[in-house]
Structure 1
Amino acid sequence: MTEPIVVVGAALLNDGHLLAARRSAPPELAGRWELPGGKVERGETPEAALVRELREELGVETEAVERIPGEWPLRAPYVLHVWTARLHPDSPAPKPLQDHDALRWLTPAELWDVEWLDQDVPAVRKIEPRLGRS
């Protein structure tokens, strides 16, 4: 049995809002929303992967804060781990640079206004109670 490959997702929190990113690729995911992130590379910690992926995908400088309990299956052999993250004070505003065509800062009341990717839904449910504490 192969070891699962970890994909990190970012619950990027700012002033009680959660950042959602709309996929532009691949075609079967385009138009749906996700927590930004990507694969952990060999020799990389999940926290370092999260910071790197957010820099590449959104052009921001961030810090991983804490892992959300749980692991969610993606297509084999990938599994999703989600971390809360925050922007560095001097970071530019996020922009959709890779694989996304729109970003939204969602309030707790707007959290379910977007069509989340199926695999992100359980993680977003775990993040929801934290929005008032970010």
Structure 2
Amino acid sequence: MPASLATSVAGTFVWLGMVLAISFIEAPVKFRAPGVTLKLGLGIGRLVFRALNACELVLAVVVIIGLLTGDPGSGPVAALGVAVVVLVTQLLLVRPLLTRRSDAVLAAPEGADGPRSHAHLWYVGTELVKVVALLVGGILLLGAG
């Protein structure tokens, strides 16, 4: 397997692991910890997801460069292209909605949850699409080498 494709494989699976660990383990578990209020959990979540998204952008660039300099075929490119498009959609469309919601909750008086929002469901849905795209893309890349 050429080094460029091996780099894309590594970047893809590191990216996948980070999304699974943060979005599907850390995020829901933190709210079950003793003493973690909604406001505290949201404050922590904002920091964690900002860091995750920065890492995702770096990994997306690494994966794209590896795909551009290798010859993976159309399958991995399409699958990983979906993952990149989903990430950009999350950053430009869904995250701003989540930020508005968390701003309102953090500004609400103690004991009030603030306004409800469906943005969280959109984020979870896009995370699921991204996970499938990364898994499929990574597996197809392994077969391309």
TM-score by length of 2: 0.27
Structure whose residues are more often strand by fraction: 1
Ranked by relative contact order (alpha carbons within 8 Å, sequence separation 6 or more), the top structure is 2
**Structure of greater Rg:** 2
TM-score by length of 1: 0.29
Structure whose residues are more often helix by fraction: 2
